[in-house]
Amino acid sequence: RAHHSLVSAENAVSTQAEYHCDGWGIGYYLEEEPYLFRAAKGAAEDHRFLLLSESLRSSTFLVHVRRATVGDIDSLNSHPFRHGAWMFAHNGTIFDFDKIEDRLLAEVLPEFRPLIFGSTDSERYFYFLLSYMTRAGISKSGRGKVDIEIAAKAQHEAISTIFSWCQELGIDAPKANYILTNGSVMFARRAGLELYLSTQKKTCREVLQCKEKDKFCLNTVFPKLKTVHHTPRACKHLLVASEPTGEENIWEEIPDGGLVSIDANLMLRLHEAPQPFWVTWPACVTRHPKRENVIAYAE
């Protein structure tokens, strides 16, 4: 079922939606098929958000509440965005987007361009990333096996390109955090804003119903995130959020520029960019205010 961080945690998404009130969306998967619900009103005032949060059952969720920067308040501009099995949510903004939009769209595969229906930088960012991955040999539909390392390298190249354009044109460093999933694998990129993950808990409100005999998630001794690009970390669940949603989870801050992935076997990896694209902006990380908030859960 949907994770309690959506509605009942100390800093639940429904609480965050009070100040991110320009739209919301929930993406989820049933029997490997993607489903998506998006709305243009605030989640805090939309009874459908609470209804879906309490009733949905899935092993993978991607949830976003929007604070509009680029693009109108419209359900077409609400996140997540979907293509095939791929779903994507962006937290942040690409400043002075009009100055690089033509360059970015020129890199988007021609077959993807007619599929951009909204007016946000985020949707274009999604198809830009997807184009780089497709050229690298990753399935554009998100079906079948995904090579984690190849996909990560393609994403590094894509975001490095955007940062290099911004540097060339004297544009402020973009806030380019995102989560990308096909329901079996998930990628979470930190680029300019806070991003956290949790695989372990201090306590668990569902411990009596848990079917895991060893209560693996309550193990407080585990490999630290900075080591898992050498040896992947085995997980039972992964929670990624723009800001910690509650005290029961043990939260780790993803390093800026870092990309984490979790594969179909729930093995967590940190992919560090080979050439740090963010170092030319020493004050790149902005902690407040946030443009949107995004949370993803996989088990």
- Structure confidence at residue 181 (pLDDT): 96
Mean pLDDT of 24-50: 85
**Domain 4-283 has what CATH class?**
alpha beta
Q: What percent of the chain has pLDDT over 90?
A: 45
pLDDT in tens, 175-229: 999 999 999 999 999 998 999 998 887 655 555 455 555 545 555 555 667 666 6
Query: Mean pLDDT for the chain?
Result: 80
pLDDT in tens, 68-119: 676 677 778 988 999 999 999 999 999 999 999 999 999 999 999 999 999 9
Query: Considering all CA atoms of the chain, what is the largest pairwise distance in Å, rounded to the nearest integer?
Result: 56
- Structure confidence at residue 20 (pLDDT): 54
pTM, entire model: 0.84
pLDDT in tens, 115-133: 999 999 999 999 999 999 9
The residues, ordered by sequence, that sit 6+ positions from 210 with a Cβ below 8 Å of its Cβ are 204
Domain boundaries, the chain: 4-283
